[in-house]
Amino acid sequence: MLDDRILFIDGEAMVIDKPAGLPVDTPKRGGPSIESRLDELRCGFRRKPVIMHRLDQDTTGCLLLARNPKARTAFQQAFEARSVEKHYLAVIGSEVEAQEGVIDLAIAKRSSAEAGWRMVGDAAGQAAVTRWRRIAGRDGRTLVEFRPLTGRTHQIRVHAREAFASGIVGDRVYGIPGGAMLLHASRLVVPRGAKPAIDVTAPLPEHFGEWRNAA
């Protein structure tokens, strides 16, 4: 049940730990999603909460929902002002030697009849900037923390591939296919004016295995 995955809740907001494999929006082909299961997250309110941002289907971790219209407007403004901090942890399929850096690479959507659509690095695309730092390495792979400063579709997945040449483990589109995708929205910080900010951390899920000890 989704209400078992609530990390933070008050009268304005809720943050849940999104599970792997469950899309945020209902797919065109139908099927379960966070959107289709919002009744589970009413928690005593008459209205359903509103999803404030998106995570890819196979990405786990912190997902923010607004519980009333005033909060929805305030959170939307915070996202538009880029004052919301989003932190991700991912396992990269190569050894990363540097300790930290910034990936500044515009990205754009490309489509083909054979492969469908994907995001690619493109100087003529939308600006996309991601900060990163190395957490730990073992067996030719590296645990990296990413902090996107912009919110483009598949930004971290594309930037990981372009910056480190191998992409994220388990990412069948941009990285190394096979097994669960090791990309997790680990921390979310949402300013709320005079009120204390929402600052929530989601633990790494079990499919990260031994990397959970390094985070």
- Nearest CA-CA partner of 180 in 156, 206, 212: 206
User: What is the chain's length?
Assistant: 215
Give phi and psi for 161, each to the nearest 5: -65, -45
- Contact status, residue 41 vs residue 52, Cβ threshold 8 Å: no
Query: Which residues does the annotation mark as catalytic?
Result: 56
Q: The tokens 């388990």 sit on which residue?
A: 170
DSSP string, 155-171: HHHHHHHHHHSS-BBT-
Q: Is 193 helix (H, G, I), strand (E, B) or coil?
A: coil
**What one-letter code names the amino acid at 145?**
E
The pair of structure tokens assigned to 25 is 């929006």
